[in-house]
Chain A
Amino acid sequence: MNEQPQTERELFIPGHYGCPGCGATLALKQTLEVLGEDTIVVMPAGCWSTLIGIYPYTCLDVPVMSVAFATAASTAAGVKAGLSIQGNEHTTVLAWAGDGGTFDIGFQALSGAVERNDDIFYICYDNEAYMNTGIQRSSATPAGGWTTTTPDSALKIQKKKNIVEVMAAHRIPYAATASIGAPEDLRCKVQKAKGIQGTRFIHLFASCPTGWRHVPELSVEISRLAIQSRVFPLYEVIDGERWQLNPMPDKIDVDRYIKPQGRFKSMTPEGIQRFQKQVDWDWRVLQSRCQSIEKEN
């Protein structure tokens, strides 16, 4: 256990059970390529806990522990404590949870781990609803979005929870957004986080053709449009205080992001306007946070 693995091998092997165009599979593939073999993955219920494959099959060639829905952070912290007391401080313990397992049911355990600054790397692959159970609303679902529990007759009213702000409020050593639409940026952030001690959190945007009602081949494109439109801007927060915006492409209207997705088809023109207004506001707030830090520096 105390020896680091010697050889480099493919850690994401063929045979996953995900839908065509699944953003969450790309997300973990890219993450594991950076983290390497010296990684233990803790996975709560979610798309990934089924798309990994049915026992004895698995598409991951790293140790994986499937855990109770609410316990990604707490189990991962326990794994780290167990390794640490045996003298292993080098293995990365990756808690890999969806938005339901992070924003909702796993939130308390996550808050606890971050407050204690447990030495775990937590990545939330966010597909903005409970996709594994059949597209139900989570607190990561955007306002105006369709899900099976926010159907056309009762679209979601509440705004999406800003999980990175919440993480920053814990004074977490490292928090960032990342996207499968910006793989180089994602790799850099995973690499950076790997080298930091304490809790690290990445909010990873992972499109879902099945739940978002877009064609599978658009997964990466939709994720890029989310960045361009500022629906999902890329930034980092160091120690919960230093906000840094990553290089962003030219801004486009949210229309371009909304239109290819069936989940927004019942959104009225007024709804789209409200969505745009919210995105613009959030973007200005984020910019001012990052600029004020730049000025201080």
Chain B
Amino acid sequence: MKKVLMGTEAAAVAAKLARIQVVSAYPITPQTVVVENLSDMIGKGELDARYMTVESEHSAMASCIGASAAGARAFTASSSQGLALMHEVLHYAAGGRFPIVMVNANRALAPPWNLYCDHTDSLAQRDTGWIQYYCADVQDVLDAVLIAFRVAEQVLLPVMINMDAFYLTHTSEVLDVPDQIAVDEFLPPFRPDHKLDVNHPRTFGNVCGADLYTSIKYQRQRDMLTVESLWKQSAEEFEIKFGRMHPAVDAYRHEDAEVLIVGIGSVAGAMHLAADRLREDGLAVGSLRLAMVRPFPLTGFLEATATVKHMVVIDRDVSFGAEGIIAQEIKAALAEHRRHIQTDGFIAGIGGKDLTSEKIIGFVLQAINKEGAAVRAGLSLWAEVLP
């Protein structure tokens, strides 16, 4: 069925289609519409679930963990400061192997206070052990939530579906909303082998010694490394069923590209346009959106970048004292597996600045010509700094 929905509404519809059983959430702009809609769906009896109006994001994630441990499918949504407050319990969710799905609206962290897009909130949670997926558009939000639950429950790891503040949360698109029957076929009910069960008493997360601790972490790393291929399998089945592709690595005109523009999130469209226009000018340019950031989709990334000689990475985030986080990720992936590729990182599009194709063309030209408007701070170039 075709529907016009914003990203937040699409996330709520997806959670409903996934037949979530417990939603526990705390309000924060620009996520709030997600959980407002879910509360209403539950209130009207359209969704058979428990809604927990918790007093903080920390409690939201803690109660999702409790619900998941009891064998229920749990969902929450958050953003920015809220996600930062959750940090401790994000580790518990992943370490406890609870397949929770969370939608995060990527918003800037204070101070200064700002409501607009920035990826540092979720990238700062990179090492919590969550699978991280960054959406290109609103349809991607809806579909990715469904794929996420399937993958999460196969590997028993939580998934964070990220959507850019306002660019996706508050932008309406015409969407294809799948039928419940088709979704039920794609996503079976959650039936974990181990859960809190009075007839089979077990301890969850009990204190343990050094040897076992290491081995448990090793197993988690091994399992996390299977996620790129698990996602691929589920995404392919999703494509067969629903006709839409959601790969972990979303490459465009890359086959013969010498220069590749790399970014995450809703910048994908502007990157495509920029590549098209630069091709018109005779430059072999392609683009690549890392849909998955954790685990790093190494196989897909290496395949898509075989011919590339130069990468222009756009980061809507920064690791202060280093550079853009995605630029670091790219360099780390390349260092082990490839010859040196020139990589120029731009910090841009944060705090409400739009990332247009014109701007991106400017980044590529500056990277090639070694001159342009962006100013250098360490390894990264900042495009929008006041003089």
Contacts and interface: CB of A to CB of B under 8 A. Distances in A.
A54 B206 contact: yes
Interface stretch (A33-41, A148-156, A200-208, A264-272): A33-41
B204 interface: yes
A3 B199 contact: yes
Contact of B65 (A39, A40, A67, A112): A67
B67 to A, nearest CB: 3
A62 B64 CA distance: 21
A286 interface: no
A68 B53 CA distance: 20
A71 B9 CA distance: 29
Contact of A78 (B48, B52, B53, B197): B52
B49 interface: yes
B208 interface: yes
A77 B206 contact: no
A76 interface: yes
A63 B207 contact: no
A21 interface: no
A77 B66 contact: yes
Nearest to B23: A81
Contact of A77 (B49, B63, B205): B63
Contacts of B48: 85
Contacts of B196: 40, 63, 65, 79, 83
B71 interface: yes
Contacts of A76: 66
A78 B204 CA distance: 15
Interface string B15-26: 000000110100
Interface string A1-43: 1011100000000000000000000000000000001111010
A3 B197 CA distance: 10
Contacts of B64: 78
Interface in B189-212: 195-209, 212
Nearest to B205: A66
Contacts of B63: 74-75, 77-78, 81
A66 B22 contact: no
B55 A82 contact: no
Given A78-B67, A82-B74, A109-B62, A37 B198 contact: yes
B71 A68 contact: no
Given A49-B207, A86-B21, A115 B65 contact: no
Contacts of A53: 206
Given A40-B198, A112-B54, A79 B88 contact: no
Contact of A55 (B58, B60, B72, B203): B203
Interface string A71-95: 1011111111111111000010000
A81 B74 CA distance: 10
Given A81-B72, A108-B55, A112-B56, A50 B62 contact: no
Interface of A: 1, 3-5, 37-40, 42, 49-50, 52-55, 58, 60-68, 70-71, 73-86, 91, 108-109, 111-112, 115-116, 118
30 contacts: A1-B197, A1-B199, A3-B199, A37-B198, A49-B206, A54-B209, A55-B209, A62-B198, A63-B201, A64-B204, A65-B205, A66-B204, A68-B88, A71-B58, A71-B89, A74-B63, A75-B66, A78-B22, A78-B24, A78-B52, A78-B64, A78-B65, A81-B22, A81-B52, A81-B72, A82-B66, A82-B69, A85-B67, A85-B72, A112-B56
Given A63-B204, A65-B69, A81-B50, 15 more contacts: A1-B197, A39-B198, A52-B207, A63-B202, A63-B203, A64-B206, A65-B66, A78-B70, A79-B70, A84-B50, A108-B59, A109-B59, A109-B62, A111-B55, A116-B54
